[in-house]
């Protein structure tokens, strides 16, 4: 479960199938771990349906709860006074 939690922290919001492919953990196990992490409040998960090239893909979209990634490098827009 720590591997999945760290993956989400590094990569941000991901589908369960993307997590399974990247971590090389079977999809059924990933879904089990995600439900455990969600019950503990470590992640936020929602069921989603995407259509990619007309193909329906259903899965769980997950992200780490209460985690805000640091700002990307580069110039930031300034507020007008």
Determine the pLDDT at residue 68.
67
Q: Residues of 64-76 as b/e, b for ≥16 C-beta within 10 angstroms?
A: beeeeeeeeeeee
Determine the pLDDT at residue 69.
65
Query: What is the full per-residue pLDDT of the chain (81 aa) written as tens digits?
Result: 889 999 998 898 999 999 999 999 999 999 999 999 999 999 999 999 989 899 998 999 999 988 666 677 877 777 776
Q: Which two tokens stand for residue 36?
A: 């455990």
Domain ranges in the chain?
2-64
Looking at the domain that runs over 2-64, which CATH code has it been given?
1.10.10.10
pTM: 0.75
């Amino acid at each position: 479960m720590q591997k999945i939690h760290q993956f989400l922290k590094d990569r941000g919001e991901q589908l369960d199938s993307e997590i399974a492919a990247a971590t090389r953990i079977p999809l059924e196990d990933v879904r089990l771990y995600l439900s455990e992490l969600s019950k503990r409040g470590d992640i936020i998960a929602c069921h989603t349906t995407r259509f990619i090239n007309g193909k329906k893909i259903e899965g769980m979209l997950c992200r780490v709860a209460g985690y805000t990634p640091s700002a990307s490098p580069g110039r930031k827009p300034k507020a007008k006074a």
